[in-house]
Amino acid sequence: MSAAVGLQRRPVVPNAVLGMALFLFTEVMLFAGLLSAYLVLRGRAPVWPPLGQPRLPVLVTLANTGVLLASGWAVRAAREKFDAQDVPKAARALRLALALGGLFVLVQGAEWAALVAHGLTATLSPYGSTFVVLVGGHALHVVVAVAALAWGARELSRGELRRSGLTALSMYWAFVVALWPVLYALVYLW
Q: What is the pLDDT of residues 99-110, one digit of tens each?
A: 999 999 999 999
pLDDT category at 2 given cuts 50, 70, 90 is low
Section 84-91 average pLDDT: 91
For residues 149-155, average pLDDT = 94
What number is the average pLDDT over the span 53-81?
A: 94
DSSP label at 50?
P
Enumerate residues 6+ apart whose C-beta is below 8 A from 85: none
Low-confidence winner among 51-55, 64-68, 107-111, 158-162 (lowest mean pLDDT): 51-55
Residue 63's nearest CA partner among 100, 118, 116, 113 is 100
pLDDT confidence of residue 67: 98
Residue 8 has pLDDT above 70, yes or no: yes
In angstroms, the CA 144 to CA 161 distance is 18
Contact in structure between 186 and 35 (CB atoms under 8 Å): yes
Find the range with the poorest average confidence among 6-20, 45-59, 132-146.
Answer: 6-20
- 4 has a pLDDT exceeding 70: no
User: Count of residues for the chain?
Assistant: 190
How far apart, in whole angstroms, are the C-alpha atoms of residue 175 and residue 14? 19
Burial status of residue 84 (CB atoms within 10 A of its CB: 0-12, 13-18, 19 or more): exposed
Q: What is the mean pLDDT of the chain?
A: 92
Q: Is the pTM of this model over 0.85?
A: yes
